[in-house]
Amino acid sequence: MKATAIIPVKRFGSAKQRLLAVLDRPQRAGLVKAMLADVLAAISASEGVERLIVVTGEGRAERIALAHARRTATPLEVLRDPDDRGHSEAATLGIIRALSHGARCAALLPGDCPLLERAELDPAIGRMSPGRVAVVPDRHGTGTNGLLLAPADAIGPAFGEGSMARHRDRAARAGHSVAIERLSSLALDLDTPDDLAALAAMLTERPERAPATAAAIDRLGPIARPPT
């Protein structure tokens, strides 16, 4: 079974508000752009992904996605979300579009997990079958950083605080089998200064995991690597 990957992307001005304590708006936008570039590269390299749909109301994100589409053989389209109502709503728009393409499986993936590796994503997609929902938790074990659905509209996405339990319960109530997929490369998303420091430390050791993000963090200098 192959999946249609859906990547909701907020407007850069409203994304990552909790990073404003350490990054100004241009720095924050540069980092978000770099992370999206790395995520798109990882997903389009996946053998389990047959199509990418980026849902966004951000023109800069649209340009990044369309530029990437010219460099990959995996079909990629941008679905405009001018109202920018939220992550779950954008994901739902993507699901509706995926269904119009005949998708049997949807992979709802974040644009702010630049460490994503196809070596983990492909087996997770390969474990999907009709009637299965797989929830990928964040590193705290309570949020959701990825959601794999077969069928593509198996449940309505409900991201946010406590969403891992919420998605698990929705799937169970809908009569689907539920799996918790702990993918280390999807565990760290970037929301807080502590997340930024953790990501910077990982990319100092292995910058090739997310080269665009590593370069963006290097440009930030000591802001991204507070003294311990």
Is 162 part of any domain?
A: yes
Is the link from the previous residue into 130 a cis peptide, with omega within 30 of 0?
no
Query: What pLDDT is recorded for position 18?
Result: 74
Query: What pLDDT is recorded for position 148?
Result: 98
CATH number of domain containing 48: 3.90.550.10
Query: What pLDDT is recorded for position 15?
Result: 67
Whether residue 51 contacts residue 76, with contact meaning beta carbons closer than 8 Å, is answered with yes
78-128 confidence digits (pLDDT tens): 999 988 889 999 999 999 999 999 999 999 999 999 999 999 999 999 999
Query: What pLDDT is recorded for position 213?
Result: 97
Is 140 part of any domain?
A: yes
Percent of the chain having pLDDT more than 90? Answer: 82
Query: What pLDDT is recorded for position 184?
Result: 96
Number of domains, the chain: 1
Which of 168, 184, 92, 94 has the alpha carbon at shortest distance from 132?
168
Query: What pLDDT is recorded for position 48?
Result: 97
Query: What pLDDT is recorded for position 21?
Result: 76
Query: What pLDDT is recorded for position 94?
Result: 98
Is 212 part of any domain?
A: no
Whether residue 228 has pLDDT greater than 80: no
Query: What pLDDT is recorded for position 13?
Result: 75
Rounded to two decimals, the pTM is 0.94
Is 205 part of any domain?
A: no
Distances 146 to 27, 45, 174, 178, 221 between C-alpha atoms, Å:
26, 17, 19, 13, 30
- Name the packing angle between helices 211-220 and 193-205 (round to 10°): 120
Pairwise pLDDT comparison (119 vs 224), residue with the higher score: 119
Query: What pLDDT is recorded for position 221?
Result: 84
Is 198 part of any domain?
A: no
Is 86 part of any domain?
A: yes
SS (H, E, C) 82-107: CCCCCHHHHHHHHHHHHHHCCCCCEE
Is 192 part of any domain?
A: no
130-189 confidence digits (pLDDT tens): 999 999 999 999 999 999 999 999 999 999 999 999 999 999 999 999 999 999 999 998
Whether residue 8 has pLDDT greater than 80: yes
Query: What pLDDT is recorded for position 226?
Result: 55
The domain in which residue 77 lies consists of 3-187
Whether residue 224 has pLDDT greater than 80: no
Is 197 part of any domain?
A: no
50-84 confidence digits (pLDDT tens): 999 999 999 999 999 999 999 999 999 999 998 88
Query: What pLDDT is recorded for position 115?
Result: 97
